[in-house]
Amino acid sequence: MSASSLDTPMMRQYREIKAHHPDAILFYRMGDFYEMFLRDAEVAAPLLDIALTTRDKAKADPIPMCGIPVHSADGYVKRLAELGHKVAICEQVEDPRRVAGRRLVRRRVVEVVTPGLVGDPEGIAAHSELALAAVHAPEGGSSVGLAVLEASTGDFRATCIDVPAAGDALSAPLLEELRRVAPREVLVDAARAPLLAERLAEILPEATVTPVEPGAEATELSVDGFEPGSQDPSQRAAAAALAYAAANQPSAVVHLQRLRPYRLADAMRSDAATRRHLELFENAEDGSRRGTVIERLDESVTPLGARCLARWLAYPLLDPESIAARQSGVAWFCARDRLRGRLREVLRGVRDLERLFAKAARPGAGPRDLVALRGSLEALPAVAAALAEGDDDLLPDGEGGRPAAVACPVPVPEAAELLAEALVDDPPIVHRGSRGAGETGYIRAGFRPELDVLRSAASKGREWIAGLEARERERSGIPTMKVRFHPVHGYSLEVTKANLDRVPGDYERKQTLASAERFTTPELREAEGSVVGANDRAADLERELFEQVRQAVLSHGAAIRAAARAVAGVDSLAALAEVARRDGWVRPVVDDSLRLEICAGRHPVVEPILRARDEEFVPNDSDLDPDAVQLVVLTGPNMSGKSTYLRQVALIVLLAQTGSFVPAESARVGIVDRVFTRVGASDRLARGESTFMVEMRETAEILSEASRRSLVILDEIGRGTSTFDGLSIAWAVAEYLHDTPGLGARTLFATHYHELADLARTKERVRNAHFQAREYGDEVVFLRRLVEGAANRSFGIQVAKLAGLPASVTARAREILANLEGGELDESGRPRLAQHGDELGTASGATPEGGAQLGLFAVEGASPAERAVLKDLRAFDPERTTPVDALVAVQAWIQRLRGSGEKP
Ligand code: ADP
């Protein structure tokens, strides 16, 4: 009986390799397939929706297996990585045909694809990153290191984040930054993994948390800015990321050029809630880019520019000088429509230079990848030329010369020329690790004389063989003789059984078939030898040359990546100019002041939507200043435009600090260190927190973290609770923002509590403003114009009518409102402060429940206490009373009435 099926030479080799990659699914190359065995097969087959079979069925312990064709492997690998798995790609590293005897072909894992290192950049959305992050949180340390590596673009950055005194490694700024980066995989020190993993999984549900052993250092790698032995937490995090990448995907790190240190303090802090509320990158509806700010802004023509713009918007700057530098770039392009148009045309040719380079650097890179890279590289000179045209034309306004922000990409002609000389324009598809005979011919004729010689030898041999059939038919007189080719047996002359007697004497039998025999001759053997030999040698040489060319091109990595960065920059600036010119945006003044002054501002996303519907967007002003008008209480009916306005102001600030122009007639933005938004309901509802709870938590964060430099946008605080609760909270929050010494954040506070307007009477830096609405008959018309003073009406019923509430309901609501406004009904619709009982009876159709109280006020013989309360009530002026005072008064009246001993 045979041994266990695990004990074959092949399975021994398999298990040996697998032992080095216990946590990865091993793709074991066998010919044109990757096979998975055992547990890997059982895990992967259902995930990939492929058949699970067994190997060595006859044996007692058949091995579960499944497989996928090599040519479609990338898609499967990507699917597994997205599901959080690692995939180890194990290739045959020698030509099976050359392996003598029965020895196994040698195999080696050439790369491991992980959720944060996907290898093939093909599947990543062009405008987004797919990052690997590493967190290094030394026990008891005062700061945590964060490194971010984007393998497909070669971007590698690291920062140190302070740990608050409390000592929680996962401090709010770190979590915030992780959410902003949104890595697919986070590396944490194994020792601390259990502690950190759960919290990380909560804030980054899309990411895989991978524990790594500290000390695994990629010391042999030389990356600018990376200091292998350093104890600095950001360097340690970078070391962890590098070591992990080097171990799993060497091609991703070999050509990394530099580690870019960055500081959170250089950019505006941006929390997930604010990004979501302002719909910067994802809309609230379905999380897509539709209707988002980035969609509006992204007029880039290359993926390089698209990613750069997204990064700019995610990290608005805090330094007026750096902002001004970008603005000059935008201004320069705004002033040059022709140049910009021409530039954008040639930029398209650059395509995704970064990712094409990353593709070329991968072990599986084929000729087509290099030809695509060549196309990109060849587009660079035209970009440089287009920019150079504007180098010295001085504009009438005196603004000439290319500003520093418009960095001209430096072409890499050596790489482009080498690729053009070496590779044919339209090479065949060559699958990774493939040694198939048809997959050659990609090296251009004339590139290397030896190759041309081999090729011509092979083709001469083939010609000779092609002519052989006719020659041998003639010589032997066998008219049906045929030249045959068999991949294993090679060339032969086939003669049917009936003609065997006429076979010439120098024929040697090679193979016997059912109805024919196959022969060879010494000449044929020689010709065949030279054809096959030449072909093989040519194929080997092609592979060798290809690899040489590839390495030579990769050695220009630094220059290529620098060119890509420059292209990203000019594409982004030109895109911002494009938006500014198209939509009439202006260059804002951004300075160190605390002013926020916007003249005729518009909402960057709503305005074009309205325009598309042929509707006007009404521009509005803003003027905030911690020393003058710090807090504006915004009232106005629902639907009047409050939310739009709040967001518009916040977005203009963000855009300004991104370096972009802004939708306004003019604007002055004193640097804002952080935009806080508390807007509408939140999606955390799905996680079981009540709207009110979420709202209060966000409010608490604003009050504790806002500074004098912040911009606070509050939309409807206190809605999720009873009216008095809500009003009191809103009131107290506004007071806090105004009164707390040293706070004084510029604040816009939209509310439906008209009572809040009273704040302006007592608080020095509070002003009222409202959105105008006009009533025509019983229709309301929103003017969308912001004017000073508080709104006096809320037009709720008119809005309800607009929304399609049945006429009978709105009519009845109007009736009830009239009574409430006349002070005759309380909030539950019951009669209360009537002066004349008969009016109540007609107005509300007084109910028996109401009837009881009716008697209290309406009868002539009221008690002295009742009369006194009535007198107070008549004199009471709600306009001049704060809600708190009103509450106190009501309490006192109730007490007096109850104390009078009257029975209702
Ligand atoms: P509110 O917050 O007061 O309920 P919104 O800000 O949601 O009102 O605005 C309601 C609608 O009015 C929006 O759908 C928008 O299309 C339109 N709108 C808002 N502001 C303007 C404006 N300045 N000009 C024209 N239309 C506007």
**844-901 pLDDT, tens digit each:** 333 333 333 333 334 455 677 787 788 788 878 777 778 888 888 888 888 888 775 4
Q: In what order do the strands lie in the sheet with 766-776?
A: 675-679, 711-715, 746-750, 631-635, 766-776, 779-788
Which is more confidently placed, 225 or 876? 225
pLDDT of 53 above 80: yes
Place of tokens 């959080």: 84
On average, the pLDDT of the chain sits at 86
Nearest CA to ligand 1 atom 19: 641
Check whether 259 has a pLDDT greater than 60: yes
Give the model's pLDDT for residue 399. 58
Ligand 1 center–CA 644 separation, angstroms: 5
Q: What is the dihedral of CA 207, 211, 214, 215, to 10 degrees?
A: -90
Residue 785 Cα: closest atom of ligand 1 = 23
Cα–Cα dist 772/792, whole Å: 10
Q: What is the pLDDT of residue 344?
A: 97
Q: pLDDT of 138-176, one tens digit each?
A: 888 889 999 999 998 989 999 999 888 766 778 888 999
Average pLDDT over residues 412-438: 82
Question: Which residue minimizes the CA distance to atom 18 of ligand 1?
Answer: 641
For residue 837, what pLDDT is reported?
A: 36
Predicted pLDDT of residue 690? 65
User: Ligand 1 center to residue 66 CA distance, Å?
Assistant: 57
**Tokens linked to 735:** 């007071």
* Percentage of residues in the chain having pLDDT higher than 70: 89
**Residue 379 vs residues 279, 372, 386, 387: alpha-carbon distances, Å:** 35, 11, 11, 13
Side by side, the strands of the sheet bearing 508-512 are 482-486, 490-496, 516-520, 508-512
Residue-wise pLDDT for 534-592, tens only, equals 888 888 899 999 999 999 999 999 999 999 999 999 999 999 999 999 999 999 999 99
Q: How far is CA 590 from CA 309, 321, 586, in A?
A: 19, 9, 12
Contacts with 167 (C-beta within 8 Å, 6 or more apart), sequence order: 140
Tens digits of residue pLDDT in 797-843: 777 777 778 888 878 777 777 776 666 555 554 555 434 333 333 33
Backbone phi, then psi, for 217, in 5-degree steps? Answer: -110, 145
Atom from ligand 1 closest to the CA of residue 616: 25
Crossing angle of helices 557-583/367-388, nearest 10°? 50
Q: Are the C-beta atoms of residues 104 and 13 closer than 8 Å to each other?
A: yes
Is the pLDDT score of 334 beyond 90?
yes
DSSP code string of 466-518: HHHHHHHHHHHT-TT-EEEEETTTEEEEEEEGGGGGG--TT-EEEEE-SSEEE
Q: What's the DSSP call for residue 882? A: -
| CA separation for the pair 438, 73 (Å, rounded) | 20
Residue whose tokens read 């002054």: 597
Cα three-residue angle 99-105-108, rounded to 5 degrees:
140
d(CA 771, CA 780): 12
Q: Identify the CA nearest to 252 among candidates 262, 260, 261, 241.
A: 241
CB-based contact 784:600 (threshold 8 Å): no
pLDDT for residue 172: 86
State the residue for tokens 């251009």. Answer: 444
C-alpha distances in angstroms, 488 versus 484, 521, 528, 532? 12, 17, 13, 11
Distance set, CA 395 to CA 14, 392, 570, 579 (Å):
70, 9, 20, 21
| C-beta of residue 619 within 8 angstroms of C-beta of residue 602 | yes
pTM (whole model) above 0.75: yes
528 vs 587, more confident: 587
Cα separation values, 408 from 385, 403, 876, Å: 9, 10, 73
Rounded percentage of the chain residues whose pLDDT exceeds 90: 53
Count of alpha carbons within 13 Å of 496, Cβ hemisphere only? 8
pLDDT at 221 over 50: yes
Report the alpha-carbon distance of residue 482 to residue 132 in Å, rounded.
60
**Is the CB of residue 186 less than 8 Å from the CB of residue 135?**
yes
- Joined together, the tokens standing for residue 178 give 């992780």
Amino acid at the residue 776:
Y
Q: Residues 345-352: what's their mean pLDDT?
A: 96
- Nearest to residue 442, comparing CAs of 450, 451, 433, 453? 451
Q: Residue 199's pLDDT is what?
A: 86
Measure CA of the first residue to CA of the last residue in the chain; give whole Å: 103
Question: Which residue's CA lies nearest to atom 25 of ligand 1?
Answer: 617
Residues with CB under 6 A from ligand 1: 606, 610, 617-618, 636, 638-644, 784
Residue range 787-794: average pLDDT?
78
Q: Is the pLDDT of residue 261 over 70?
A: yes
Per the CB < 8 A criterion, the answer to whether 733 and 770 are in contact is: no
pLDDT score of 856: 34
* DSSP assignment of 706-743: --TT-EEEEESTTTTS-HHHHHHHHHHHHHHHHHSTTT
750 Cα to the center of ligand 1, angstroms: 13
User: Measured between alpha carbons, how far is 575 from 334 in angstroms, rounded to an integer?
Assistant: 10
Task: Give CA–CA dist 209/84, Å, rounded.
Answer: 9
The pLDDT score that the predictor gives to residue 849 is: 36
| Residue 797: HSE in the Cβ half-sphere, 13 Å Cα cutoff | 16
Q: Per-residue confidence at 461, pLDDT binned at 50, 70, 90?
A: confident
**64: helix, coil or strand?**
strand
CB 223 within 8 A of CB 242: yes
Cα separation, 888 vs 618, whole angstroms = 42
Specify the higher pLDDT residue, 254 or 623: 623
Atom of ligand 1 nearest to the CA of 610: 16
Centre of ligand 1 from the C-alpha of residue 614, in Å = 15
User: Where is pLDDT greater, at 350 or 61?
Assistant: 350
pLDDT number for residue 213: 85
SS3 category, 597: strand
- The residue contributing the CA closest to ligand 1 atom 5 is 641
Query: How buried is residue 279: exposed, middle or buried, by Cβ count under 10 Å (0-12/13-18/19+)?
Result: buried
What pLDDT, on the 0 to 100 scale, is given for residue 493? 93
Helix H or strand E segment including 145: strand 143-150
Rounded to whole angstroms, the Cα distance separating 826 from 405 reads: 64
> Which pLDDT score is estimated for 792?
72
- Separation CA 153–CA 676 (nearest Å): 32
CA 33–ligand 1 middle distance (angstroms) = 59
Return the residue whose CA atom lies nearest to atom 12 of ligand 1. 641
Q: What pLDDT, on a 0 to 100 scale, did the predictor assign at position 214?
A: 74
| C-alpha to C-alpha distance for 308 and 120, rounded to whole angstroms | 21
* Per-residue pLDDT, 782: 83
∠891-892-894 over CA atoms, to 5°? 65
The pLDDT, as a whole number, for residue 850 is 34
The pLDDT assigned to 862 comes to 67
Q: How far apart are the CA of 568 and the centre of ligand 1, in A?
A: 35
Render pLDDT for 629-679 as a digit per residue (tens, 0 to 9). Answer: 999 999 888 888 999 999 999 999 999 999 999 999 999 999 999 999 987
In the reported structure, the alpha carbon of residue 645 is separated from the centroid of ligand 1 by a whole-number distance in angstroms of: 8
CA–centroid distance, 242 to ligand 1, in Å, is: 49
Which three-class secondary structure state does DSSP give residue 638? Answer: coil
Q: Is the pLDDT of residue 396 over 60?
A: no
C-alpha 389, offset from chain centre: 35
Confidence category of residue 95, pLDDT binned at 50, 70, 90: confident
Residue bearing the CA closest to ligand 1, atom 1: 639
Residue of 694 and 310 predicted with greater confidence: 310
Mutate-to-test residue for ligand 1 from 606, 622, 665, 781, highest number of ligand atoms within 8 A of CB: 606
Confidence check: pLDDT of 435 > 60: no
